[in-house]
Amino acid sequence: MESNQPLKVNRRQFLLRSAVTAGGIIGTNIASKSGVFAQAPAIITSEKMRPAIPYGVASGDISENNVVIWSRSDRPSKMIVEYSTHESFRNVQRIRGPLALENSDFTARLNLRNLPPNQQIFYRVIFQDLDYQNTYSAPVKGTFRTPPKYGKDVCFVWGGDTAGQGWGINPDFGGMKIYETMRQLQPDFFIHSGDNIYADGPITSQVTLDDGTIWRNITTPEKSKVAETLAEFRGNYKYNLMDENIKRFYAEVPLLAQWDDHEVTNNWYPGEILPQDDTRYTVKDVNLLAKRGRQAFLEYMPIEYNNDPERTKIYRSFEYGPLLDIFMLDERTYRGPNTPNRQPVPSSETEFLSKRQVQWLKRQLLSSKATWKVIASDMPLGLIVRDGATDFEAWANGDGPALGRELELADLLRFIKYKNIKNVVWLTADVHYAAAHYYDPNKAQFQDFKPFWEFVAGPLNAGTFGPNQLENTFGPQLVFQSLPPGTKANRPPSEGLQFFGAVKIDAYTKVMTVSLRNLEGKVVYSVDLPPEK
């Protein structure tokens, strides 16, 4: 159990406590030609007695009255978080948190509550050895800004699809440098729209590119095969956190994480049994794979949850001041099987969010007082995403009236219209390119809804694909897409076709500006959305 009672500790006391057992430097930062830094092996034997923090720190699930601080030790230890409104850690507050034990792979998290609004918070994580309680890790620092009450612009970024299709950490390329590009914008937070990892996508040491040059990956045993065991799923998250760009980004930008299929296996759904001829897997029961994948996801994401992964909901919402509420969906846990998706009436087979999640979302939207309501969907609405020759993976099933899973979406959009819920914007990823879609009821087969925008962003260091076909059920109009038709599939990050989205909401005009940006941060598309009065 964590204690939420902060204890004031002055700087001298902290330095004395954290230097009890070891005097000296753990290692030396060595820079490669690409500018990616690696930690040299420890040269002082006594340092090995101290807990280490190999994967950095992260904050997440930030809202008006709460933020989650996450980290991982390398041994059984107790998490301690110190925080201050001063970068010098003057007037530091200390919270003794939970234990980091083997059953959680030595990950731990605690909540910081009742923080001042619109304030930069500086924090550091320390782990106390359980066997040698006078032994502490070196501190690792992070920072975030609390949501404003009024009078401040809100800026955030989003995207999805990390380390997919064999494109891993390439030191010669600079690592997963799109994360550094996003960090340089200094966003208030980041929405990861799913496919945080590719548990079904092994990383090999090298890939030969079309021009004959070699893309070289850092590899690990857990990333060298599809994930089946809990240790292998955990190893996928550890792999991403080996990248210095990601570690630096997560130490400075709060994360709102949702999952999609590749946190488990491609296009999975509950109850699925993998084909016997899929020799990559000895475990064919997708429910078992999903249980392990879900546990690893919750352990390695800065998400607030109790110690029972089965009872923790991945769908959740966040209040971010008077300008913005965010609603994170879970389109994996409760869906029916992937089918041709043409059923004329709702049933358990057509569920995508589930009745319970739809009712939750309706209540949250109805009670929201924020100017803008952002729905973070891990899959796009009107883009056709196939699963094999006859089945569909997402909402869309082709041109025509609302059928199958689309019935659930039609009900939700109708509710938004008749309850006159204003300024709803959908953000998504999944398809590995960037796009802007305007949904126009006048051009739709199903017309009982208010017009709205959907923006697609990604990938974040994964293969580039697309573009996908739009269907006409809800009248999506293609306003922008980052790739021309006929683009060759699975383009490497080195070609620059990596994309993320950025949102700015002006504190005074309340105009939402949505931009889609490339690997270098250049704006490839932008639109200003005035709020509906």
User: Residue 501: how many CB atoms within 10 A of its CB?
Assistant: 26
Euclidean distance between CA atoms 181 and 496, whole angstroms: 12
- 273: amino acid identity, one letter: I
Provide the pLDDT for residue 306. 74
Q: Which helix (H) or strand (E) holds 326?
A: strand 324-328
Euclidean distance between CA atoms 73 and 236, whole angstroms: 17
Asked if 109 contacts 59 with a C-beta cutoff of 8 angstroms, the reply is no
Sheet strands (E) in 429-494: 435-439, 452-456, 476-481
Contacts of 529 (CB under 8 A, 6+ apart): 423, 425, 453, 511, 512, 513, 514
Provide the pLDDT for residue 173. 98
Euclidean distance between CA atoms 159 and 456, whole angstroms: 8
- Separation of CA 333 from chain center: 16
The partner residues of 124 in beta bridges, in order of sequence, read: 82, 141
Q: The pTM is what?
A: 0.91
Euclidean distance between CA atoms 465 and 433, whole angstroms: 6
Q: Indicate if the alpha-carbon torsion angle 206, 489, 173, 435 is positive or negative.
A: negative
Indicate the pairing of strand 372-376 with strand 424-428.
Answer: parallel
How confident is the chain (533 residues) per 10-residue block, as mean pLDDT? 43 38 33 38 58 98 94 98 97 97 97 96 98 96 96 97 98 98 98 98 97 97 98 98 98 98 98 97 98 97 84 95 97 98 96 98 98 98 97 98 98 98 98 98 98 98 96 98 91 97 98 98 98 94
Asked if 378 contacts 421 with a C-beta cutoff of 8 angstroms, the reply is no
Name which of 430, 474, 479, 470 is nearest 449 in CA terms: 474
Provide the pLDDT for residue 46. 64
Q: Enter the tokens of residue 305.
A: 């949850």
Q: Coil, strand, or helix at residue 245?
A: helix
Name which of 57, 115, 67 is nearest 256 in CA terms: 67
Q: What structural domains and CATH numbers belong to the chain?
A: 7-145 (2.60.40.380), 154-529 (3.60.21.70)
pLDDT digits (tens, 9 = 90+) for 89-128: 999 999 999 999 999 999 999 999 999 999 999 999 999 9
Q: Enter the tokens of residue 19.
A: 């230097």
Q: Coil, strand, or helix at residue 45?
A: helix
Question: Before 467, cis peptide (omega within 30)?
Answer: yes
Euclidean distance between CA atoms 131 and 133, whole angstroms: 6
